[in-house]
Amino acid sequence: MSHGSIIKIPFGPQHPALKEPVNFLFEVDGETVVNVKPRIGYNHRGIEKAFELRTYTRNIYLAERICGICSDAHTTCYTQAIEELLGVEAPLRARYIRVIIAELERIQSHALWLGLVAHEIGFDTLFMYIWRDRETILDIFEMISGNRIHYAMNTIGGVRRDIHAAMMPKIKKGLDLMEKRVKYYLDVVQTEQTILKRATGVGILKPKDAVDLCAVGPILRASGIKNDVRADDPYAAYNEIPFNVITCDGCDILSRIMVRLEEMLEGVEIARHALDSMPEGVIRVRVPMKVPQGEVVSRVEAPRGELIHYAKSNGTTKPERYKVRSPTLGNIPALCKMLLGGYVADIPIVLAGIDPCFACMDRMAFIDTKKNRKWVLTMPQLRRKYKRKCMQK
Amino acid sequence: MHAEITSLLAILVFPGVIFLFVLAFFYEWVDRKFFAKLQNRYGPLHTGAHGILQPLADFLKLLSKEDITPFASDKLIFALAPIFYLALPLTTLFVVPILSQTSLITFEGDLIFVLFTFTLIIMTVFLAGWSSISRFSTIGSIRATLQMLGYEIPMGLVTIGPAIAAKSLSISKIVEWQSLHFWIVFLQPLGFAIFTICLLAELQFVPFDIPEAETEIVAGWRTEFSGRKLAVLRLGKDLELVLASALITSLYLGGPQQFWLIPPIITFLVKTTFAVMLLSLLRAVFARFRIDQMLTGTWKYLLPLATFQVILIQLGFGG
């Protein structure tokens, strides 16, 4: 359906398909997308700067608030980095608890994602069903930590709360229920014709493109590439637990759905194994306030993909520089590739397909594209600039 | 004089305008409540018993909201489109039998009139979207028109079925024929299925809610409407639902029939409620098609099947 005229459609920063502000400018020929221009930065929160102003202990809670859905992945990454700088290791039981929480979080995050994808393709019934089942996991979190979303489980040198024997039956029951439901949804997405019609062959990302454009996490695995930080560079107790890295070679939305659903099943298995083989012992070691000089990079497999934290310490109680590379940022170039040549009607599902979390990834840089110049504004400069603008008004 | 007042009351109050408005709100509630139950939700809950007054409350609230006309819009068409969108299904409902087996207005060929107004409704949708000069509205209205090209012909073809069976193009005569013979749904189940699918597309329900696909083009052709205009558009949509369910009832389920002591109006209400629930059920179990998939689907499958149904009737099956 080519009409020969190209319409520019803005997508966001406010749009019903977007849960967070981001802007895409689509150039559309009829119903086909011919060009995509992403524009990020609407939700910049200055978190990296805030890291430099707070002590290491307070930063745990700041790291937790980088993302609402994968809060545990960020704290795990943060505490790991600082533990490495300190030269301490969390006790084995603490590391097992970290694995359990991480896997439960993966299950609830993928469930949330699948619900959103169903909503994007207009299948609201599936959306409601999945989010109902997701409550099971959130209830387990509430029982363990007292919170449904920000669990605040990790601390430097271990975890803050233990998983008691009395909690085991409820957790296992929840996992059984989740396993049953996920198997049902696996069946649904493979047989329901309207889902297959909307998800098969949509948002293709070839394995070569996936690697070239540095895609991460389930996107990369759905393009058939076996890449998982849990297996490649085991952290916490992942080296002691046997598990499979799920891949699928469909390269489209359907295989992304399949990879995530299979990962939920695998997550159930990992959590069960960890619950059964969790050793007795302490759950945390005490650590000093001051962190010795040095720098460190820490990696974690968040539900959305590889998460990288970098910390530089100058020997005081506050980090000198902290840097977060969240998985969504890694997936943006791949996303633009997926959208090209697709239909307008497929934009929401392809966009949702990478499980975007724009608030976690927003960065700010001042770039003059004409002169190819980059610069950094200091706080006093920014304040002056802002003040002038206010006075003009 | 007395007869004139009675007929005026019939048109304005019962079973005319006011009754149809009440019915429209009621069926919106049935649709929302049943849809919610299917999705494991509660649906409207607090306004009136089981939220039965919620559609009315929404309507009144929208009436009191600010009515914004976009600066660049074609103001006359923008203002007229909601009125047409409300008036068309309302007028069409007068030719559908509700109270007894004959409708308020009946003439030979009113079935064609109904199909014609269905087309006009989509034309109004197109004008509404086009006059808003918003990118989302433009795409939405183009999609609505494209979609019409897909389902209109199969719908026209299958509605010939009941007409051939009753040997009349008048809906009242078709209802009358059914009361003497069988319900047409038993004679032409295929036609019933195709007609229901086409009505889903006409009503812009999932899987054919392509012109107002929320996650793609905001509210589609309705994006720029607000306040009173949006309230009228919503009421128009509800009336379209009433019209669709009344047509299913009249053409395939025997229309308002007298069963023993039960008056025809009750059977009509029961049957239309069933039809509304059928439409809600169908919209709960699918994902949305893409516009190209919808068009190929209707031309590849729906149209041949509709033709096949007509051939079957000509061969003497189900006629």
Q: What percent of chain A has pLDDT over 90?
A: 19
pLDDT confidence of residue A1 = 47
Give B216's contacts in chain A (Cβ within 8 Å).
Answer: 17, 344-345, 347-348
pLDDT of residue B317: 73
pLDDT in tens, A49-68: 888 888 888 889 888 888 88
Whether the pLDDT of residue A386 is over 70: the answer is no
pLDDT number for residue B139: 83
Q: Which residue of A has its CA nearest to B297?
A: A197
For residue A244, give the DSSP letter. P
Provide the sign of the torsion angle of the four alpha carbons B124, B128, B131, B135, taken in this order: negative
Closest Cα partner for B252 from B154, B312, B153, B318? B318
Chain A residues in contact with B214 by the CB 8 A cut-off are: 16-17, 122
CB B258 within 8 A of CB B264: yes
**Which range, of A13-22, A208-217, A267-276, B245-254, averages the lowest pLDDT?**
A13-22
Residue of A nearest to B285 (CA): A125
Alpha-carbon gap, residue A349 to A17, rounded angstroms: 9
Calculate mean pLDDT across residues A192-196.
85
Q: Check CB contact under 8 Å for B135 and A9.
A: yes
Task: Check residue B236 and give its pLDDT.
Answer: 92
Q: Label residue A363 by pLDDT band (50, 70, 90).
A: low
The predicted complex's ipTM stands at: 0.81
Chain A interface residues facing chain B, Cβ-Cβ under 8 Å? 1, 7, 9-10, 15-17, 31, 118-126, 128-129, 132, 192, 194-195, 197-198, 343-348
Confidence at residue A175, expressed as pLDDT on a 0 to 100 scale:
92
CA distance A312 to B185: 75
Which residues in chain A have Cβ-Cβ distances shorter than 8 Å to B213? Answer: 122, 345
Please report, as a single letter, which amino acid is at residue A100.
I
Beta-carbon separation of A17 and B41 below 8 A = no
B253-269, pLDDT tens digit by residue? 888 887 777 888 888 89
Q: Using the predicted structure, report yes or no on whether residue A390 has a pLDDT greater than 60.
A: no
At residue B134, the pLDDT reads 82
Residue at A297: amino acid letter: V
Tens digit of pLDDT for each residue in B160-210?
888 888 888 888 888 888 888 888 888 888 889 999 999 998 888 888 888
Judged by CB atoms closer than 8 Å, whether chains meet at B284 and A1 is answered as: no
Residue A214 pLDDT exceeds 50:
yes
- The confidence score (pLDDT) of residue A268 equals 92
Q: Which domains does chain A have, with CATH numbers?
A: 73-318 (1.10.645.10)
Q: Any CB–CB contact under 8 A between B284 and chain A? A: yes
Contact check, Cβ <8 Å, B215/A119: yes
Residue type, A261: L
Q: Which of A124, A192, A198 sits opposite B39 (nearest CB)?
A: A124
| pLDDT mean over A230-247 | 87
Query: Counting beta carbons within 10 angstroms of the beta carbon of residue A373, is it exposed (0 to 12), middle (13 to 18) or buried (19 or more)?
Result: exposed
Phi/psi for B83 (5° steps) reads -65, -45
pLDDT for A392: 57
* pLDDT above 60: residue A336: yes
SS (H, E, C) chain B: CHHHHHHHHHHHCCCCHHHHHHHHHHHHHHHHHHHHHHCCCCCCCCCCHHHCCHHHHHHHHHHCCCCCCCCCCCHHHHHHHHHHHHHHHHHHHCCCCCCCCCCCCCCCCHHHHHHHHHHHHHHHHHHHHHHCCCHHHHHHHHHHHHHHHHHHHHHHHHHHHHHHHHCCCCHHHHHHHHHHCCCHHHHCHHHHHHHHHHHHHHCCCCCCCHHHCHHHHCCHHHCCCCHHHHHHHHHHHHHHHHHHHHHHHHHHCCCCCCECCECHHHHHHHHHHHHHHHHHHHHHCCCCCCHHHHHHHHHHHHHHHHHHHHHHHHCCCCC
- Element (DSSP H or E) covering residue A139: helix A124-145
Q: Cβ–Cβ of A120/B215 closer than 8 Å?
A: yes
Contact B287 A346 (CB under 8 A): no
Q: Given strand A305-313, what is the order of strands in its sheet? A: A294-302, A305-313, A319-325
Nearest chain A residue to B213 by CA distance is A122
pLDDT-derived band at A122 (thresholds 50, 70, 90) equals confident
- Taking CB atoms and an 8 Å cutoff, what residues of chain A touch B208? none
Residue A191, both tokens: 């047989």
Q: Give the tens place of pLDDT for each residue, A82-102.
A: 998 888 988 989 999 999 999
Is A298 within 8 Å of A81 (Cβ atoms)? yes
CA pair distance A28, A26, nearest whole angstrom: 6
Which of A7, A15, A31 is closest, CB to CB, to B291?
A31
Q: How confident is the model at residue A119 (pLDDT cuts 50, 70, 90)?
A: confident
- The answer to whether residue A228 scores a pLDDT higher than 60 is yes
Q: State whether the Cα torsion B27-B31-B33-B37 is positive or negative.
A: positive
Q: Of A10, A125, A128, which is closest to B285 when you measure between CB atoms?
A: A125
**A31 to B292: CB separation less than 8 angstroms, yes or no:** yes
> Of A69, A114, A125, A230, which is closest to residue B288 (Cα–Cα)?
A125
Min CA distance, B142 vs chain A (Å)? Answer: 10
- Per-residue pLDDT for A209 more than 70? yes
Mean pLDDT for chain A? 85
CB atoms within 10 A of CB A369: 6
Mean pLDDT across chain B: 87
Contact state of B290 with A118 under an 8 Å Cβ cutoff: no
Contact B216 A31 (CB under 8 A): no
A:B CB pairs within 8 Å: 75
Check CB contact of B41 with chain A, cutoff 8 Å. yes
